[in-house]
Amino acid sequence: MQAIQERDNSKELVLKTELPSFLVADLLKCPDLPTLPAVAVNVLKMARTEHPSVSDYANAIERDPALTMRIITLANSAFFSRSHIKVHACHEATARLGLDTTLAVVMSFSLLQNRGIDVHYQRVWMRSIIASLAARHLAIHLCPDMAGPLFTAALLQDIGIMALRGIYPKESNDLYAEAVLSHRQLSVSEQRLFGCDHSQVGAWLAAKWGVPAPLAQRICDSHGDYDITAPDRLCIQLSGPIADGLLSSHPAKSLVAVVREFETYQGAHVISLRHLLENIQEQIPALTDMLQMTAPPLQDNESLLAEAQQLLFQQNLQLKARLDTHQAEIASLRQRQDELEERSRTDMLTGLANRSWLEDQMHKRFILCQQQSRTMSAVFIDLDHFKKLNDQYGHQMGDRVLQKFGKTLQALIRDGDLAGRWGGEEFLVILPDEDAQAAQVFAKRIAERLEKTPMAYDGQHPIHVSVSIGIACLDDGGFGDAGELIDAADKSMYFIKRTGRGGIAVYGERGAPGATTSID
Ligand SMILES: Nc1nc2c(ncn2[C@@H]2O[C@H](COP(=O)(O)OP(=O)(O)OP(=O)(O)O)[C@@H](O)[C@H]2O)c(=O)[nH]1
């Protein structure tokens, strides 16, 4: 690979592109490489000076009467002549066109002079003409200072095709004759055949002619993904696809595709497709006349815009429909996830919290209480003689009792409390911010409710159950973690089991586990 180097007079610049060595060798020995006539070489020389002037340009151009006449005609064309005052001299025309535009037209005119009749060149140049107008229009809105240089670069962006046709006529004929290939496909095929595409070869050629380095770099940058961080690059990169769109058999569809890609650029809102198209249509004749080409029959702007708008509307509808579907899918996935999470913490038989969720919540609550010097109580409940109940009425009746007891418990707790099934016929209730006395009140309420309310019926016969309840409060022991607090409540509950069932014991109270006089 060989890097192309080019120096600017004012600042040193290295062109950031590489060509395969074989290609450079072929380019260097090619007799058919496009060359610039003396007048264009002289104008380029002026362009490279630090402060090029209108009269320098004009003096160089005037050596070629045909070119001079074209420049004056272009300056007097409807687009460049905002006033009705006609210019008659080359320096007036150059002043009106501006140095960048003058340079671009001098080079294009020179390059086309001998090749204008070739149908492939006609197509390539027509693309370049439309691209240059598009680039300038975009630049006026996105980076006004760059409008002139970007016009020039866009007009010269495809000169690499001329060079490639010069060195590889056979392959190029096959390649470029296929007008069906999109510009992107063309670039891919060139990469495959020649190891690089025509934007890089064009930059090389431009550098060899001695164009200012930034101009060669812009030719090189004309391909590639849209660079939305650099408006000047973006203008050049968009100019080609816009020209391709306008010259395609389905201009509305192609332009809408460009608009869609362009929409991601935050400055996009300042560009109106209508103004862009009007601007291009208005200016094409001046440039095609200047380059002695026949302007292509472009579709009428109004119908093109109407079709483009319809397509955009349809696409928006489709996008909205797709978005709605996605949102519905996301909502259903979220709901499913919520359901799964709910299930993962729920005891299937009673609908209360399951053991792992109880443990998790106990652990978190315990830490919170420690950090904020708050309290909590754990209430451990075990249904009495549940085996007997199962044996007497059957397992299904046992299940119904557990379910009813779960509902009863849930109805008795307050917001912020958590009731769950620890396992089998054991239940645990977490009472945040409640001391042992309050927990005892709660436990008594359970016992009273069970006395009054049967948990099931065997026919007409009501089935009552009693419970053994153990309470442990964070304040009443030096508990190291949540597990120790639960153990203490569990021990208190067993104390009741051992002493006759159907009662309440508070850890640390007289006679109960944890008390100094404990019988534990
Ligand atoms: N129906 C039903 N029974 C269960 C379930 N889980 C555990 N059991 C039963 O509950 C009974 C518990 O028996 P034990 O641990 O001896 O307790 P108990 O009979 O209540 O005796 P005490 O606790 O000492 O009053 C066992 O027979 C278990 O099979 C369940 O989900 N449904």
Band (pLDDT 50/70/90 cuts) for residue 518 is very low
| Bridge partners (DSSP) listed for residue 117 | none
267 CB burial (10 A radius; 0-12, 13-18, 19+): middle
- Look at residue 348 and tell me if it is in a domain: no
**In a mutational test of the pocket of ligand 1, which residue from 350, 381, 425 has the highest number of ligand atoms less than 8 Å from its CB?**
425
Please state the atom number of ligand 1 nearest to the C-alpha of residue 388.
19
Residue 179 is predicted with a pLDDT of 63
Find the range with the poorest average confidence among 245-249, 316-320, 380-384.
Answer: 316-320
Q: Are residues 283 and 364 in the same domain?
A: no
Atom 8 of ligand 1, residue of closest alpha carbon: 424
Find the range with the poorest average confidence among 82-96, 263-277, 335-349.
Answer: 263-277
Atom 13 of ligand 1, residue of closest alpha carbon: 387
The mean pLDDT of 242-258, rounded to a whole number, is 83
Band (pLDDT 50/70/90 cuts) for residue 12 is very low
Q: Are 464 and 446 a contacting pair, CB within 8 Å? A: no
Residue 46 is predicted with a pLDDT of 86
CA of 387 to the centre of ligand 1 (A): 5
Find the range with the poorest average confidence among 103-117, 191-205, 318-332, 454-468.
Answer: 103-117
- Look at residue 51 and tell me if it is in a domain: no
- Look at residue 76 and tell me if it is in a domain: no
Number of domains in the chain: 2
C-alpha 133/C-alpha 138 separation (Å) is 9
Residue 266 is predicted with a pLDDT of 65
Distances (CA, A) of 344 to 260, 347, 362, 408: 45, 8, 17, 22
C-alpha 235/C-alpha 173 separation (Å) is 30
Q: Are residues 445 and 381 in the same domain?
A: yes
How many degrees, rounded to 5, is the angle at CA 326 between CA 321 and CA 331? 125
Band (pLDDT 50/70/90 cuts) for residue 355 is very high
Q: Are residues 287 and 375 in the same domain?
A: no
The mean pLDDT of 393-417, rounded to a whole number, is 96
The mean pLDDT of 386-406, rounded to a whole number, is 97
CA of 83 to the centre of ligand 1 (A): 103
Residue 421 is predicted with a pLDDT of 98
C-alpha 232/C-alpha 216 separation (Å) is 14
Atom 1 of ligand 1, residue of closest alpha carbon: 398
For residue 80, what is the DSSP state?
A: T
Pocket of ligand 1 (CB under 6 A): 349, 382-388, 390, 395, 398-399, 402, 424-425, 497, 501
Band (pLDDT 50/70/90 cuts) for residue 114 is low
Report the CATH number that the domain containing residue 226 is assigned in CATH.
1.10.3210.10
Atom 12 of ligand 1, residue of closest alpha carbon: 387
- Note the ipTM here: 0.97
Where is pLDDT greater, at 201 or 261?
201
Residues in the chain: 520
pLDDT at 479 over 90: yes
| Bridge partners (DSSP) listed for residue 472 | 378
C-alpha 467/C-alpha 458 separation (Å) is 20
C-alpha 82/C-alpha 90 separation (Å) is 18
Residue 404 is predicted with a pLDDT of 97
Please state the atom number of ligand 1 nearest to the C-alpha of residue 395.
1
CA of 285 to the centre of ligand 1 (A): 97
Residue 304 is predicted with a pLDDT of 75
Atom 32 of ligand 1, residue of closest alpha carbon: 399
Which range scores top for mean pLDDT: 221-235, 243-257, 453-467? 453-467
- Look at residue 52 and tell me if it is in a domain: no
Residue 115 is predicted with a pLDDT of 57
| Sign of the C-alpha dihedral computed for residues 252, 258, 263 and 267 taken in this order | negative
Tokens, residue 246: 């306008």
CA 318, distance to chain mean position in Å, is 19
pLDDT at 61 over 80: yes
The one-letter code for the residue type at 467 is: V
How many degrees, rounded to 5, is the angle at CA 186 between CA 182 and CA 190? 175
C-alpha 273/C-alpha 333 separation (Å) is 40
Q: Are residues 290 and 362 in the same domain?
A: no
Residues of the domain holding 428: 355-506
Residue ending a domain, among 266, 299, 332, is: 299
Residue 17 is predicted with a pLDDT of 61
Q: Are residues 279 and 372 in the same domain?
A: no
Distances (CA, A) of 284 to 128, 159, 294, 517: 11, 19, 10, 106
CA of 400 to the centre of ligand 1 (A): 13
C-alpha 442/C-alpha 351 separation (Å) is 21
pLDDT at 14 over 60: no
Q: Are residues 220 and 131 in the same domain?
A: yes
DSSP string, 200-245: HHHHHHHHHHT--HHHHHHHHTTSSS--TT-HHHHHHHHHHHHHHH
Please state the atom number of ligand 1 nearest to the C-alpha of residue 401.
1
Band (pLDDT 50/70/90 cuts) for residue 135 is very high
- Look at residue 78 and tell me if it is in a domain: no
Please state the atom number of ligand 1 nearest to the C-alpha of residue 391.
27
Q: How far apart, in Å, do the first and last CA atoms of the chain sit?
A: 88
Dihedral-angle region of residue 504 (phi above 0 means left; psi in -120 to 50 means alpha; beta otherwise): beta
Where is pLDDT greater, at 489 or 175?
489
C-alpha 357/C-alpha 421 separation (Å) is 10
pLDDT at 218 over 80: yes
Please state the atom number of ligand 1 nearest to the C-alpha of residue 423.
6
**In a mutational test of the pocket of ligand 1, which residue from 352, 386, 426, 465 has the highest number of ligand atoms less than 8 Å from its CB?**
386
CA of 498 to the centre of ligand 1 (A): 16
C-alpha 442/C-alpha 497 separation (Å) is 19
pLDDT over 90 percentage in the chain: 40
CA of 344 to the centre of ligand 1 (A): 23
Tell me phi and psi for residue 81, to 5 degrees: -100, 90
- Look at residue 288 and tell me if it is in a domain: yes
**In a mutational test of the pocket of ligand 1, which residue from 349, 354, 390 has the highest number of ligand atoms less than 8 Å from its CB?**
390
337 CB burial (10 A radius; 0-12, 13-18, 19+): exposed
Please state the atom number of ligand 1 nearest to the C-alpha of residue 497.
24
Tokens, residue 12: 């040193």
Q: Are residues 294 and 359 in the same domain?
A: no
Q: Are residues 285 and 384 in the same domain?
A: no
Where is pLDDT greater, at 489 or 516?
489
Atom 23 of ligand 1, residue of closest alpha carbon: 384
Residue ending a domain, among 254, 280, 299, is: 299
pLDDT at 137 over 60: yes
Give per-residue pLDDT as tens, 251-271: 888 888 777 777 766 666 667
Q: Give the chain's mean pLDDT.
A: 86
Atom 31 of ligand 1, residue of closest alpha carbon: 424
The mean pLDDT of 417-444, rounded to a whole number, is 97
CA of 391 to the centre of ligand 1 (A): 10
Q: Are residues 378 and 233 in the same domain?
A: no
Q: Are 507 and 492 a contacting pair, CB within 8 Å? A: yes
Per-residue burial over 160-173, b if 16 or more Cβ lie within 10 Å, else e, is bbbbbbbbbeeebe
Where is pLDDT greater, at 52 or 502?
502
CA of 388 to the centre of ligand 1 (A): 8
pLDDT at 411 over 90: yes
- Look at residue 342 and tell me if it is in a domain: no
CA of 406 to the centre of ligand 1 (A): 15
The mean pLDDT of 409-433, rounded to a whole number, is 96
CA of 470 to the centre of ligand 1 (A): 17
Q: Are residues 465 and 371 in the same domain?
A: yes
Q: Are 398 and 388 a contacting pair, CB within 8 Å? A: no
Q: Are residues 428 and 364 in the same domain?
A: yes
CA of 426 to the centre of ligand 1 (A): 9
For residue 353, what is the DSSP state?
A: B
Tokens, residue 367: 């830490």
Give per-residue pLDDT as tens, 303-315: 777 777 777 777 7
- Look at residue 234 and tell me if it is in a domain: yes
Report the CATH number that the domain containing residue 360 is assigned in CATH.
3.30.70.270
C-alpha 43/C-alpha 108 separation (Å) is 12
Tokens, residue 209: 């002619």
Q: Are residues 285 and 415 in the same domain?
A: no
pLDDT at 5 over 80: no
| DSSP helix/strand/coil, 395 | helix
Residue ending a domain, among 234, 265, 299, is: 299
